[in-house]
Structure formats: C-alpha cells, structure tokens
Structure 1
C-alpha cells in the first residue's frame, strides 16, 4: 500500500497497546478492500489522555479503544449509539465529518460469532461469568438478540450493588430478564447452569492455562446440550474448554469474538465487510506464533 496525503488514519488507543491484534486485522482488510487507509496502535499513557482526546477528531477517521479508556472517552464524543448508551462504554468511534460517534461492538461480536457457529440465542437462557468490561458488553447486547434470561455471575465485591441496579435498569427497557448471582452461592450457580443453554466465561480466569472459572462441583452440571464459550483466545484451549470437550459439549474460544467485533467496527467505519476468512487465518497464525 502506498500512503499519501489522502490516506485515512485509524488507530487503537490503550495502555498498554503493543499486544493488540487490531492493526493486523484492519490493515489486512484495508488492503483486501483496496482502501487508502492505515491502522496503528498507540500506547496512550493516562496522564496524556485528556490532552490527546480533545484532538482525536483532527487526525483520525476512526479508532478503537481498550482499557482503560472505554468510559473515559465518552465526554469527548458527540453521540453514542443506543448500545453504547446502555453500557456507557465504547470500543469503536467513527469520525463523521468532525462528529464523533461512539459504538460498542464487543458484545455484538460474541453474538455474531455464536450465530455464525449455528447457535440460536433467541428465547434461550445464558449464564455469563463476570461483569467487567467485556462481560458488561455481552450482558447488554443479549437484549438485542431476544435472549430470554441472563444469569450474571459476579463476585460479591464493592461493585455488586452497582451491577445489580444496572441490570434492573436494562431489564426495565427490554424484554430480556436479568438475574445477578453471587459467585460464592454454589447452590444457586448449579441451578442457573442447569437452566442455561449457553455458558459464557467473560472473565480472565483460565488465561494461565490452569484455573477454572467455576468449581468442578458446579461444572459437573454441564450436559452435551449446552454450548460453552470462553472469550479467552490465548491459550486457544482453556481449562474450561478442555473440560467442555471431555463432557461432549460444543464449545468455542474467543477468536471468533475478536474477529467479529473487528468486522463490525470495520463495517461501521467503511460501510464494507471485512474479509473474514483471510483475517481469521492471519489471527490464528499470529496467536499460535505468540504462544510458541
């Protein structure tokens, strides 16, 4: 690609940012779609965020955000999509003639991946582990896909009541039912898992290749009728997914969520589709290279 004075700049803003696979995904897509654009990762230190955020619309045609800026960016935006309003966090911003529009594609990315894998979610019950950044995006997006009920499993810490109030607020404006479950209540967790058709791990438990996000006693409730999704993609086969395989449960790692959230961002910016197969192959090759 030959860059020139008309090249549009896109970026990834986070701290740290060096680990991001977004430049690989989007630059490959720009090239495949013959778009005069470039995507770079920027490690933006917290002390520099406010001064930088005030000038983003001068330089970027669009950008992604990750920790710790998904909420911090909001005062600098001109508009939020309904999805972003629901979680009050964004991971994707489009510069529309100087008008910055914030969107959240994380949760939608997971559901797009489930649908691509033949999983129908409408009318089903989900058990989601964790209510951090990724968890909140998935929880909020569930209402857009006519999920019947979402059990949210969370540790009883200082944000427990805040999340409970947030879930009540979402439930009031959607047809999806939400229930918050304490991680320490093993009996309740067993019941929730028995009632759920899909289990989603939205925590980082399992990234070490050793830990399970639920106790073995709870996970014994898993049946072959249930789909197990782990948003972790490094390692590609977490302990939860290994256990799911042993129990004969269909399952998936987070590569698809990563791919689809990027594809939705790409389409939000450009109006064009991402070359999914080409990008997925490149992602898997890079993830395996980093793991070796």
Structure 2
C-alpha cells in the first residue's frame, strides 16, 4: 500500500511557499494535504499509483484556494504586505555572501529571488500556480490541469501570461556578483550617514516598501524617489542611535542573494533586500514583521 512517507515533504513545503509567500501558510497547506490523505479509505489510498504526484496536486489545489481568499484578507493587513524572506546558509563576516559549499554557490543565481517573489504577488492565483508548478518545479501542463481544473492548453496560456507579466515588470535582477557589490556599496553608504552617498547608489525612481505588520517606525505606504528613500533609511539608523541602541548590520544570503540583516539592541531584527538593475538599487524591501522573521528570531536573531 502506498505510504504518506513516500511523499517528499520538503519539496511540498517549498512548492507551497513559492505559491503562498510565507512558511506558516506553506506548512499549513502541506499539513492539510496529509490530513486529507489519512482521512481517505484504505482502498482509495491503494488506488494512488504515485503518492508524491498525488500530494503535489492536492497541495496545489489547497494553495489555489488560499490564494483566492488571500487578497481579501490582506485588505485588512496593516501597511504593505511582502513575502517572507528565507535565509541561506552563507553568513558574511567581511562583506562577501558565500554559500556553504561550492555546489550551492554555483546554484545561487538560479534560486528564486525576493524580486520574483514580490512580482508573483501581482499574478492571478491561477497564473501563479501554473507558472510556479511548471517553470519552477517542472510539472507538465497535463499535471497542472489537474490542480487548477482547466485544460492543459489553458494552463499553458496561464503560464505564458505570467511570464509576459514578469518580463513587463522587469523582474530580472542583476547577476549575483554585481548584486553583492551594490548591496555592499549600499551598506557602506548608509553607514556613512551622508545623504548624497546613499542617493548615489539608488535609482532616481527607486521605491521602498516596508512590511512591519504594525511595527512602529515602518512606513505604511511605499516611499518613492531617491532622496526620500535615502532619508527614510538614514532615519532608521539615526533613531536607534538617539535611543542609545547599537545597530549591527550584516550581509547574509537571503533568497539566494546578498541582503542586509539589521539587528538592534532590544528589538527584533529586520531584513533589507534590494532589487539591483544596471548597478543601482531599483527597489528596497524591508521585512520587519516579527511573524515573518522567525528564521532569525528562533535562533536568537
């Protein structure tokens, strides 16, 4: 008889995370799939030829339902909503983000970046499911049709529309090495405390979005323009200094790219991820919601 242990739980959680944007929601979706498995009659489970495929289909359907209601829930969210950042294994001591082994380092550029995760939020639920399952996890459109309840041809079009949307939104980030150089320059400029230095590494039309989940000091709406963004960022550091709290920044791997983790005495850390295009910062995303930073706070941040 097929067993639930035949399913690749790690892959299922990774799939659900790319669809839903938070670890908690992803784990809930996978857990619900296991609950449905164990509620099935033995004869129904015996009829399943490929357990992993069954779980992938069920998790996809659950995520599709969650995505359908997520937008309504997020209308009640305090401030802007950003996907949860995920830490990598490489922590930087001297301003160089390094993976823990050569094989991982070689694959960093192929990982799903924060920039892609942010843009995925703009897709329709069906587009997101079709794109993620096909382009990121290699499912066929016949398999995806089982998830979204449409024909394989319709699923192919959904994925194509999603790709076009991603291209139009210019989601592609710089290569990892260039990205890291700009992140390092950004951190140095911010640490200088000089407005002009920070403005110099920002695109004139840069946009900053913070997800504080109600946390004090975070912007409830996007901040636009290089000077405004620079003033906001410098204000974070200056406020901490006025309150006598030490600010400890580090460059770490987040979603496969170099990012800044900012730790302050007596407060939860927050993560600053950057979208780098043509050697300047085009977008700044600050994740400060403690509920989405448990990967850092659970280990003492």
What TM-score, normalized by structure 2, do the two folds share? 0.27
Which gives a bigger RCO, structure 1 or 2 (Cα 8 Å, sep 6+)?
A: 2
- Please say which structure displays the higher CA radius of gyration: 2
TM-score by length of 1: 0.27
